[in-house]
Structure 1
Amino acid sequence: MTRRADLRLGITDVAPVVSCGSFSARAVVGEHLPVTATVFREGHDAVAADVVWTAPDGTRGPLNRMRRYGEEPDRWLSTVVPDREGRWTFRVEAWSDPLATWHHAVEVKIEAGQGPGELANDLEEGAQLLERVAADADAEWRGRLTEAAEALRDGSRTLHDRVAPALSTALQRYLDEHPVRELVTPTPEYEVWVDRPRALYGSWYEFFPRSEGPVVGGVPVHGTFRTASDRLPAVAEMGFDVVYLPPVHPIGTVNRKGPNTAQFPGGNPHEIGPDDVGSPWAIGSAEGGHDAVHPQLGTMEDFRAFVARTRGLGMEVALDLALQAAPDHPWVKEHPEWFTTKPDGTIAYAENPPKKYQDIYPVNFDNDPEGLYAEVLRVVRVWMDAGVRIFRVDNPHTKPLDFWHWLIWKVKETDPDVLFLAEAFTRPAMMHQLARIGFTQSYTYFTWRTAREEIEEYGRELATNAHYMRPNFFVNTPDILHASLQYGGPPMFKIRAVLAAMMSPTWGVYSGYELYEHVAVKPGSEEYLDSEKYQLRPRDWAGAEAAGRSLAPYLRRLNEIRRQHPALQQLRTLRFHRVDNPNLICFSKTDPGSQDAVLVVCALDGQNRQIGTTGLDMPTLGLDWHERFAVTDEVTGARYDWGQFNYVELDPYWEPAHVFSVHLPRPVTWPPPVR
């Protein structure tokens, strides 16, 4: 049997590692990434560990010393901070620490009353170790180390005087930074893909450019990219970072759906007229396919101008990538093999029983994968060339995983800054696997988490898996109007916005949320009445705000708070605190290494006043249990003196939440305790 040198010391449970190293862990530029491992050895000699951290260009940084962490005596931690995008690698190296072993042994033996004669070998071992360190030290420290070694050998001194130089605080600090590493045992190399910061933090706003046209004689006129660009300053004023557009391609005319089609799963509610605009997700017609712009929106140059205007306002465009086709899409005629043909010779349309989508043909990736893969990559690059660096991917869980793995990393080979958001409301296993294989962000179940217990459970799950899965908390979408918004009244719109914006570093709203749009197409449905998916829906933004009927100022304030507090741009530091009323929730976030912390107490009932008492986990905030601290409500400006236990009273019709900035006396250690 061959001896395994890499098993000399024990190293297990290395993190962050995704699927035993099959996929890359994730971080963003500037993020504090915790690396942990269980490190141990036989016997009683001291063991230590380092993180070896290598940049995408192969440059190896200095060793990051790991420290013991938590209640487990063999659990070790270090933090690395990537400074550029790309594929980084790390490994953990465990090693025997003879200096620490010697230090402990000498102190214990002296305390036990052993004299110089009994410690002769120990003193000589210490001298030899110091000389080993001195061989690589600069002149100043070489001298101090040599003097300490000579003192250990000087029999004319008292025992205390012999060991004192070697055990001095200054010398021990130097030895900690310049250790003697023996029996070095490395782990395999593990990958960390580092994205730009927008991959973790951002505020998204979704709107339909076609609804941003004028209303003439009471009749809405189809908007264009030029008219839609007039909406951008208001979106920027609300503090959003990303403008997400549904598909902007030509829309099919065959089997086109009309207004409120969602009521009629078997077909259209009426004869489609020339003014029915159809669903943007029914992509393609004689006017072009996925690489074309809908003529009523404008030209590709108009789209580029829209992208440029968005960037000029400090935002960027995210574009929908929906891999499906209308019956009159050019692909259907040119590549019928890219679809599924039924026994009767017709092409299968999309179904989600009892719903039927006769205006959409799903793509079949099994018949001609080489041709279809190449075409999708070409389409993505068309829009990348037009300035798009974020793609919101429609229903990725209905396409093969190996396709997405190939496409995402093919794009990142040349353009590492391109991001992909998975719109996958599906089984947890599929959602997590989409994240593992490369999706930058994911839609989540947040919309359906309304009770405190389930919100806390889900928040902990996401924070635990932050090394590969980044959430995007949308409070609503064109498809999802949750019952809590239908019946919760205006306070519930504030409540859900606070929870999304404060819990998740990335959150989003679909336009109309700021106008409290809450009417469903029918009882029990999550579809909007007069859904914008099937018709133009112009809104009187200015009139609503002038009349005080707009949530826009509140959304603006939430986004301002997010920008002012780096703690809210984190996911890993999300922690929940006790509160004795189930209709209240309390959580905090901290910014590693700084004094920035945010503490949120939010009502979950939009109808009734809520009273409770918090029981804060003080060490999570970097505080001792007995300490007092000041908090400022970032929404109202009120200041309070708080401690572990605090009385809270929230009236949802006044302010349903406290968003406190916490005035900490010292930086928060990283990571905070796991609770």
Structure 2
Amino acid sequence: MPVGQDLDSVIGMTGRADLRLGITDVAPVVSCGSFSARAVVGEHVPITATVFREGHDAVAANVVWSPPTEAGSAPARTGPDGSPGPLNRMAKLPPEPDRWLATVVPDREGRWTFRVEAWSDPLATWHHAVEVKVAAGQGPEDLANDLEEGARLLDRVAGEADPEHKDAVLAAAAALRDTSLELTARIAPAFAASLQEYLHEHPVRELVTRTPEYEVWVDRPRALYGSWYEFFPRSEGPVVGGIATHGTFAQAAERLPAIADMAFDVVYLPPIHPIGKVNRKGPNNTLTPGPDDVGSPWAIGSDEGGHDAVHPQLGTMEDFRAFVARTRELGMEVALDFALQAAPDHPWVASHPEWFTTKPDGTIAYAENPPKKYQDIYPINFDNDPEGIYAECLRVIRVWIDAGVKIFRVDNPHTKPLNFWHWLIWEVKKTDPDVLFLAEAFTRPAMMHQLARIGYTQSYTYFTWRTERGELEDYGRELATNCHYMRPNFFVNTPDILHESLQFGGPPMFKIRAVLASMMSPTWGVYSGFELFEHVAVRPGSEEYLDSEKYQLRPRDWAAAEASGRSLAHYLRRLNEIRRAHPALQQLRTLHFHSVDNPNLICFSKTDPGSQDAVVVVVNLSSHNTQIGTTALDMPALGLDWHERFAVSDEIGGGHYDWGQFNYLELDPYREPAHVFSVSLPRPVRFPPPVS
């Protein structure tokens, strides 16, 4: 244990002992500690703080990192890996002289806490003073007081030293007092590397100043890393006589091996509940459905049930449980849409009309986002009966947790009150801490960030609309900077979003966007049909698909696409295999952009802290033209010196190369628009990398 005087016994000039030393800018801290920072099990989490004091005496700092505890038990000080260990010292973080860093690695889920302790370091102050005075030629008479002060400091350490080191500490103190020895011999034992190492872990701490405790919620790794595949089970039915028939869970399960073969981790399903019959939408969002039109799954509820029911044409709850079980057998898990809205014939409308908004004419208001109208959906008014609505929403989500769902993709959370989500998410985590929530919130930045702060595990992002190098780099840096609370999910397309780059970029653009999404973000996703290069919009200038699967069945002939070579499935599989093989690609905070002398080329890297794994990615952003350029790599960001050479292997196109800081590239989008280079590093990566 460190030796020292606790701050509570020290009276400062201000009368406030807690202000004796300066500690500012502690991170990761979210909204001044109002919300928990985020991490996942096994993630290297940097804890930083600015530490300073008056005068010239040395200061030091440590982190007290405490794991989740059972109710009523006291938190224990832990080492950087979460296990009981020595004092978790912080180190200086260049180039700022007063910035300090320690890295911790949580080993279990739950609510961890940390605080920073700053303290005056008399041993370091003494060590520096003696070094300087000896170098200036001062003799033992000049250093008499210094030598005695050092001996007394070592006496304090010896009082609590373990038997293995106590003799060495006492011997060093005795040498400092031994006037029969030459000066260098007197100080040599105290300056010995082995003793200095012990003193570093067992320092003398004075004027100990503590920050408040801050929280870090630690999720399972899937919260940070995963590959998502979205598809509609109802489109998996057979085509009979040229007419698509409604699929079942059993038929949809037949699609799962192909999804697993593409190395996806999460199978995301749109709502699977009964669909409203009143104001049902027809093909391409028309208001004139035929008797066999299936409607939008997001228009939830009918006389067949509501949010806690399964659409009868898909099967039963037992059929759904079997689908979930089959997904797990294949090494994946199910994410289910959680859409809090109701069709006009949802059971809630009859039993709880107060949960909706009534217009002056007595009708219930349907959803609108002018000029768009959603006549088949009633928004919930959370202000009318919050207690009843909150309780019902919690009951519903627990129905699906009991059915095996551990991930919820939440539809339009930005249109519901923030305090509701804050309550619901943490009520769920009280009993099921491994449940994850994805915010489908394509909205203003302030709302997206606040949803993340209050508890959402992941968020949809603006990636879909970031296509130029500058905006991709700016957005990537923004996300990496805020990764202590906001985790992105880069979807390349959704049933609602077919970006113009995919409409007109041709097959190379599908590869480009897939590489960018899967390599930049630790979590990414595709909506079914992306691998078939589906790119036709309902009208010019629209991002809606023609014959959108939101409103009709859309069966696909996967086998014919594979046989004709019109499938990107093998490419998606290779990207996901690369992601699984390289822990560096499962990181967000290590994303780093490098210079390249062509604005149509983007170059970025990721490293895995503590290991020798690194990946460098170069992508041609033009889907129609070959681009050439030369990189100017930030070598320290890769843990390398500026002059070093290193080996790279192209994980997509094959080939092995000898690289350095400057490297020539040529990328033909019709052959291969990207290089994904695995890097053979000569030593483990420091984290964070030194500032260049």
- TM-score, normalised to structure 2, is 0.96
1:418-477 deviations in Å (ceiling 9; x for gaps):
000000000000000000000000000000000000000000000000000000000000
Give distance in 2, aligned partners of 1:624 and 1:291: 58
SS, match of residue 501 in structure 2: helix
Instruction: Choose from 567, 574, 596 the match for 2:591.
Output: 574
- Gap change, CA 1:617 and 1:2, over 3 Å in 2: closer
Question: Which residues in structure 2 correspond to 1:399-478 (within 5 Å)?
Answer: 399-478=416-495
Residues in 2 aligned to 1:3 and 1:515: alpha-carbon distance in whole angstroms: 71
Aligned residues of 2:612 and 2:682 also touching (Cα < 8 A): yes
Q: Does 1:312 align with 2:309?
A: no
Deviations 1:140-195 (A, max 9, x none): 31111111111111111111111111111111111111111111100000000000
Equivalences for 1:147-166 in 2 at 5 Å?
147-166=171-190
| Aligned residue number for residue 5 of structure 2 | none
- Quick check: 2:574–2:652 contact (8 Å CA) kept in 1? yes
Which of 49, 73, 87 is the aligned partner of 2:61?
Answer: 49
2:130 aligned to which of 80, 92, 106: 106
Task: Point out the more displaced range, 66-75 or 126-135.
Answer: 126-135
* 1:321-349 deviations in Å (ceiling 9; x for gaps): 00000000000000000000000000000
Q: Which moved more, 1:106-115 or 1:303-312?
A: 106-115
Residues 1:590 and 2:595 are matched in the alignment: no
Matched, 1:179 2:191: no
What's the offset of the Cα at 1:674? Answer: 5.6
For residue 136 of structure 1, the aligned residue among 155, 160, 179 is 160
Distance in 1 of aligned mates of 2:474 and 2:154: 52
Match of 2:356 in 1: 339
Whether the aligned pair in 1 keeps the contact of 2:229 and 2:264 (CA below 8 Å) is yes
Determine which of 380, 393, 397 is the counterpart of 2:414: 397
Distance 2:110 2:687 in 1: 24
Deviation, 1:59, is: 3.0
Question: Following the alignment from structure 2 to structure 1, what is the Cα–Cα distance between the partners of residues 364 and 88?
Answer: 58
Name the aligned partner's letter for residue 200 of structure 1. L
Residue of structure 2 aligned with 1:21, choices 10, 21, 33: 33
Q: Which amino acid aligns with 1:138?
A: D
1:569 shift after superposition: 0.3
| 1-structure distance, mates of 2:675, 2:690 | 23
Structure 2 unpaired stretches of 5+: 1-12, 70-74, 79-84
The 3-state SS of whatever aligns with 2:209 is strand
Q: What secondary structure is seen at the aligned counterpart in 1 of 2:283?
A: coil
Select which of 245, 252, 265 maps to 2:269.
Answer: 245
Shift of 1:495: 0.2
Aligned ranges for residues 188-267 of structure 1 at < 5 Å? 188-261=212-285
CA distance in 2, matches of 1:673, 1:607: 38
Match of 1:33 among 45, 61, 65: 45
Determine the C-alpha separation between the residues in 1 that align with 2:306 and 2:614.
48
SS of corresponding position for 1:285: coil
Tell me the distance in 2 between the aligned counterparts of 1:59 and 1:320. 39
Helix, strand or coil for the counterpart of 1:585?
A: strand
**5 Å matches for 1:255-334?**
255-261=279-285, 268=287, 271-334=288-351
Return the match for 2:518 from 501, 518, 534: 501
AA aligned opposite 2:652: V
CA distance, structure 1, for counterparts of residue 603 and residue 162 of structure 2: 53
> Pairwise CA RMSD of aligned residues?
0.9
Question: C-alpha separation between the residues in 2 aligned to 1:489 and 1:532?
Answer: 21
Structure 1 residue identity aligned to 2:577 = E
555, 562, 584: which one pairs with 2:572? 555
- Indicate yes or no: 2:136 matched with 1:124: no
1:71 is matched with 95
Of residues 103, 107, 116, the one that matches 1:83 is 107
Q: How many Å separate the matches in 1 of 2:499 and 2:377? A: 25
Cα distance in 1 for residues equivalent to 2:182 and 2:23:
41
Q: 1:636 aligns with which of 653, 662, 680?
A: 653
Return the alpha-carbon distance in structure 1 between the equivalents of residues 193 and 306 of structure 2. Answer: 71
Q: 1:570-628: CA deviations, max 9, x gaps?
A: 00000000000000000000000100000000000000000000000000000000100
Q: Is the 8 A contact 2:636 2:691 kept in 1?
A: no
1:60 CA drift (Å): 2.5
Q: Matches of 1:4 and 1:545 in 2, distance apart?
A: 72
In structure 2, give the amino acid aligned to 1:598. V
C-alpha deviations, 1:541-592, integer Å up to 9, x for none? 1110121110000000000000000000000000000000000000000000
DSSP-derived class of the 1:476 partner: coil
What letter matches 1:136 in structure 2?
A: E
Q: Which structure 1 residue ranges, 4+ long, deviate > 4 Å from structure 2? A: none
Output one character per residue of 1:616-645: Cα deviation in whole Å (capped at 9) or x when no partner.
Answer: 000000000010001000012211110000
1:619 aligns with one of 630, 636, 649: 636
Q: 1:4 aligns with which of 8, 16, 32?
A: 16
Deviation string 1:244-297 (CA, Å, 9 cap, x unpaired) is: 000000000001000012xxxxx52xx321210000000000000000000000
Letter in 1 for 2:127: H
**How many residues are treated as equivalent by the alignment?**
668
Take 1:428 and 1:491, find their aligned partners in 2: how far apart are those partners?
31
Give SS of 2:610's match: coil
Q: For residue 264 of structure 1, what is the aligned residue in structure 2?
A: none
Does 1:510 pair with 2:522? no
Deviates more, 1:148-157 or 1:474-483: 148-157
Aligned-residue offset at 1:2: 7.0
**Structure 1 gaps, min length 5:** 262-266
2:390 equivalent in structure 1: 373
SS in 1 for 2:307: coil
AA paired with 2:269? L
Q: What is the alpha-carbon distance in structure 1 between the residues aligned to residue 209 and residue 624 of structure 2?
A: 60
Aligned to 1:169: 193
Q: Secondary structure at the match of 1:371?
A: helix
Letter paired with 1:44: H
CA distance, structure 1, for counterparts of residue 523 and residue 336 of structure 2? 17
Residue 362 (structure 1) aligned with residue 362 (structure 2): no
Three-state SS of the structure 1 residue aligned to 2:509 is: helix
SS at match of 2:328: helix
Q: 1:104 to 1:499 in 2, by over 3 A?
A: same
Matched residue of 1:181: which SS? strand
In structure 1, how many angstroms separate the alpha carbons of the residues matched to 2:668 and 2:14? 70
- Partners of 1:147 and 1:399 lie apart in 2 by 68
Separation in 1 of the partners of 2:372 and 2:193? 73
Give me the whole-angstrom Cα distance separating, in 1, the residues matched to 2:117 and 2:14: 21
